[in-house]
């Protein structure tokens, strides 16, 4: 291995204070981020400007994405942007019988680097990703269908925050045990028993990251960096429709590892041929000891049931609920909900689906509002928000795949449509499928409605479910979280008693609750270092981003003791 160009001293000087700030942030959970959200913040100090980012993105298109990985036995690609164009990028296809052993070769040196150097290397990877945020924004936009600004922020700084958060948790967890200890046990009048002990954090082996289509970086970075920082190698299996953002990530990681004197094969890409389904094959390989997965409940359950040689962290489907009991800011509530339902066409695991509204209506500061009024006013709020096509395009993005469109169209048949989905033209990308959300009325008391509101309908579909009372809403909330899981719960109420009751349901069913959001924070958004994404305690996910449990079992501590 060549001498390291990136020395430990250099990495320490550049990143140690950032790591310390991240460690402080996960402890206080106050607002913090080292990654600017505004596109104009980039373009200096080595980061790509908007123009350079776009140019870099274009340069990757219609070409082979070289990674110089062992065991490359061909090339595969085929991504088509939800905005229309074929990306034309071809990725190396791996012979995993060659690649997996090669990924293990660097593990001992990576282990011996120790928790701090591993964290610093991860921070250098993140810093280089950050510097190319403009390029990543285009890659995320043209794989997920997110609008540019969302792709920039969620796919860039917010994803980098989640990666850094995972590094901070991983570091903190490993250094809870000292590297060495002297142990001296008194023996009365005899000499004490004395031992010299060393403690080494050892990764479990090769981790597998199975990426998702909608948030390839945001949902991918926590597992990737948690595994890498705890001493594992990471094989990245991107979603076949969203390979580019993770391929860019893998290339940067390999560059940094090599420059820091480690084996670049500690991070590798496993792109798949159409229909190959390599996730299933990889998931049960004996070398794979950790799996991170975001996607369908069926495959998540399959992984949990079958990849028994691995620690499996899954984020699956859920059904998110908002309980609407009362409000003292009716307009604020409506505009906040309208935004939540519209953002990225509801293609977020955190988007509310079921709005539970008492059939006798709710109280507001503007007087009582009937169920029908609330639904009509919400429909109007969504219409108002998305009335201007340019604004609608900037908020909605494009439908990520035809399945979403099919679900959206089927949803209109599930009940009375309070707000129909509209097609929006995108002048920049005429082939993009841009659709506003549909809002469907359902009667919670009718058994035939239940199949609709008790299933995840991923995409721009919301159900206004009429319930008998707020108590009824809370019972339905409890049942939904318990049986279907939820990434988020929202509630609007001016009653202390109702607030306490909805909190109690969320505490008992382990769901993350946002109360009375009427301003610029939305139930579907969480901030790294402060908010937990999911709880890991209901069926929607078996892990939370990010906490001690997310990192603690990715490594083990091996003790060696000697007589002193």
Is residue 553 involved in binding a copy of itself (CB under 8 A)?
A: yes
Beta carbon of residue 532, minimum distance to a copy of itself (angstroms, whole number): 5
172 vs 419, beta carbon nearer a copy of itself: 172
Interacting residue with a copy of itself among 6, 11, 26, 268 (CB under 8 A): 26
Is residue 496 involved in binding a copy of itself (CB under 8 A)?
A: no
83 vs 218, beta carbon nearer a copy of itself: 218
401 vs 518, beta carbon nearer a copy of itself: 518
Instruction: Select from 70-78, 137-145, 302-310, 389-397 the region that touches a copy of itself (CB under 8 A).
Output: 302-310
Among 341, 324, 337, CA closest to 396: 341
Is residue 185 involved in binding a copy of itself (CB under 8 A)?
A: yes
Beta carbon of residue 285, minimum distance to a copy of itself (angstroms, whole number): 15
Strand, helix or coil at 561? strand
- Using alpha carbons, list the distances in angstroms from residue 255 to 183, 210, 223, 265: 42, 21, 20, 10
Beta carbon of residue 318, minimum distance to a copy of itself (angstroms, whole number): 15
Interface mask toward a copy of itself for 111-130; x: CB under 8 A: x-------------------
Beta carbon of residue 209, minimum distance to a copy of itself (angstroms, whole number): 20
Strand residue runs (E) in 40-139: 72-77, 90-94
CA count, 13 A, side-chain hemisphere, 373: 12
Parallel, antiparallel or unpaired: strands 461-467 and 438-443: parallel
The helix, strand and coil proportions of the chain, stated in percent and rounded to the nearest 5, come to: 45, 20, 35
Among 98, 65, 75, CA closest to 246: 65
Instruction: Select from 70-78, 173-181, 236-244, 320-328 the region that touches a copy of itself (CB under 8 A).
Output: 173-181
50 vs 515, beta carbon nearer a copy of itself: 515
228 vs 511, beta carbon nearer a copy of itself: 511
8 vs 311, beta carbon nearer a copy of itself: 311
Q: Could you give the CA distance from residue 193 to residue 187 in angstroms, rounded to a whole number?
A: 7
Q: Per the structure block, which two tokens stand in for 67?
A: 């990674």
- Residue 69's φ and ψ, nearest 5 degrees, are -90, 150
Total number of residues binding a copy of itself (CB under 8 A)? 68
Q: Per the structure block, which two tokens stand in for 471?
A: 């108590």
Interface mask toward a copy of itself for 501-540; x: CB under 8 A: --xx-xxx-xxxxxxxxxxxx-----x--xxx--xxx---
Is residue 546 involved in binding a copy of itself (CB under 8 A)?
A: no
Q: Could you give the CA distance from residue 473 to residue 382 in angstroms, rounded to a whole number?
A: 23
Q: What is the CA radius of gyration of the chain?
A: 25
Is residue 500 involved in binding a copy of itself (CB under 8 A)?
A: no
Interface mask toward a copy of itself for 303-322; x: CB under 8 A: -xx--x--------------
Is residue 21 involved in binding a copy of itself (CB under 8 A)?
A: no
Interacting residue with a copy of itself among 173, 272, 292, 377 (CB under 8 A): 173
* Strand (E) or helix (H) holding 246: helix 244-259
Interacting residue with a copy of itself among 50, 54, 284, 549 (CB under 8 A): 549
Interacting residue with a copy of itself among 21, 76, 177, 401 (CB under 8 A): 177
Interface mask toward a copy of itself for 191-220; x: CB under 8 A: --x-x-x-xx-x-x----------------
Q: Return the residue matching tokens 């299996």.
A: 237
- Residue 533's φ and ψ, nearest 5 degrees, are -95, 110
Beta carbon of residue 328, minimum distance to a copy of itself (angstroms, whole number): 11
* Strand (E) or helix (H) holding 464: strand 461-467
Q: Residue 449: left (phi > 0), alpha (psi -120 to 50), or beta?
A: alpha
5 vs 28, beta carbon nearer a copy of itself: 28
Is residue 30 involved in binding a copy of itself (CB under 8 A)?
A: yes
Cis? peptide before 546, omega within 30° of 0: yes
Beta carbon of residue 295, minimum distance to a copy of itself (angstroms, whole number): 19
Q: Return the residue matching tokens 């008391």.
A: 445
Contact assessment for residue 46 and residue 159, using Cβ atoms and an 8 Å cutoff: no
Interacting residue with a copy of itself among 40, 178, 189, 423 (CB under 8 A): 178
Beta carbon of residue 90, minimum distance to a copy of itself (angstroms, whole number): 36
DSSP string over 355-405:
EEEETT-BEETT--B-HHHHHHHHHHHHHHHT-SHHHHHHHH---SSHHHH
Q: What is the contact surface with a copy of itself in residues (CB under 8 A)? A: 26-31, 108, 111, 172-173, 176-178, 181-187, 193, 195, 197, 199-200, 202, 204, 304-305, 308, 503-504, 506-508, 510-521, 527, 530-532, 535-537, 544, 547-549, 552-553, 556-563
């Amino acid at each position: 291995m060549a001498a390291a160009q990136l020395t430990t001293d250099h990495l320490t000087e550049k990143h140690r204070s950032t790591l310390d700030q991240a460690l402080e942030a996960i402890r206080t959970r106050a607002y913090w981020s080292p990654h600017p959200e505004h596109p104009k913040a980039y373009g200096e100090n080595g980061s790509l400007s908007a123009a350079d980012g776009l140019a870099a993105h274009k340069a990757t298109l219609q070409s082979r994405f070289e990674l110089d990985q062992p065991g490359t036995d061909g090339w595969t690609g085929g991504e088509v942007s939800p905005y229309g164009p074929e990306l034309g990028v071809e990725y190396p296809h791996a012979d995993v019988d060659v690649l997996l052993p090669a990924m293990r070769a660097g593990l001992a040196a990576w282990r011996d680097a120790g928790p701090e150097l591993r964290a610093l290397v991860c921070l250098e990877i993140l810093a280089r990703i950050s510097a190319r945020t403009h390029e990543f924004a285009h890659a995320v936009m043209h794989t997920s269908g997110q609008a540019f600004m969302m792709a920039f922020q969620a796919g860039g700084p917010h994803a980098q925050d989640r990666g850094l958060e995972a590094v901070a948790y991983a570091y903190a967890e490993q250094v809870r045990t000292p590297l060495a200890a002297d142990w001296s046990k008194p023996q009365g009048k005899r000499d004490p028993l004395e031992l010299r002990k060393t403690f080494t954090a050892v990764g479990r082996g090769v981790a597998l990251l199975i990426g998702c289509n909608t948030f390839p970086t945001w949902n991918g970075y926590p597992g990737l960096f948690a595994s890498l920082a705890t001493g594992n190698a990471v094989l990245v299996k991107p979603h076949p429709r969203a390979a580019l953002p993770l391929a860019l990530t893998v290339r940067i990681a390999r560059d940094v590892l090599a420059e820091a004197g480690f084996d670049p094969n500690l991070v590798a890409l496993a792109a798949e041929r159409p229909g190959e389904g390599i996730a299933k094959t990889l998931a049960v390989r004996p070398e794979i000891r950790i799996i991170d997965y975001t996607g369908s409940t069926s495959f998540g359950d399959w992984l949990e049931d079958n990849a028994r040689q691995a620690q499996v962290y899954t984020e699956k489907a859920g059904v998110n609920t908002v309980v609407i009991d009362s409000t003292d800011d009716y307009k604020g509530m409506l505009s906040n909900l309208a935004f939540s339902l519209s953002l990225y066409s509801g293609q977020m695991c955190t988007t509310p689906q079921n709005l539970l509204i008492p059939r006798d209506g709710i109280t507001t500061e503007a007087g009582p509002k009937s169920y029908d009024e609330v639904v009509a006013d919400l429909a109007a709020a969504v219409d108002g928000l998305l009335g201007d096509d340019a604004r609608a395009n900037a908020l909605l993005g494009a439908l990520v795949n035809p399945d979403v469109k099919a679900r959206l169209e089927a949803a209109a048949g599930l009940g009375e449509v309070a707000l129909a989905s509209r097609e929006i033209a995108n002048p920049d990308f005429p082939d993009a499928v841009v659709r506003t959300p549909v809002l469907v009325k359902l009667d919670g008391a009718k058994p035939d409605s239940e199949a609709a509101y008790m299933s995840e309908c991923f995409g721009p579909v919301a159900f206004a479910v009429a319930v008998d009372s707020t108590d009824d809403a809370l019972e339905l909330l409890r049942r939904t979280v318990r049986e279907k899981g939820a990434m988020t719960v929202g509630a609007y109420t001016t009653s202390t008693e109702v607030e306490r009751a909805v909190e109690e349901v969320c505490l008992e069913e382990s769901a993350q609750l946002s109360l009375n959001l009427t301003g610029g924070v939305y139930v579907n958004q969480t901030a790294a270092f402060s908010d937990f994404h999911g709880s890991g305690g209901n069926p929607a996910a078996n892990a939370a981003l990010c906490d001690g449990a997310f990192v603690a079992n990715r490594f083990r501590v091996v003790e060696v003791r000697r007589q002193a």
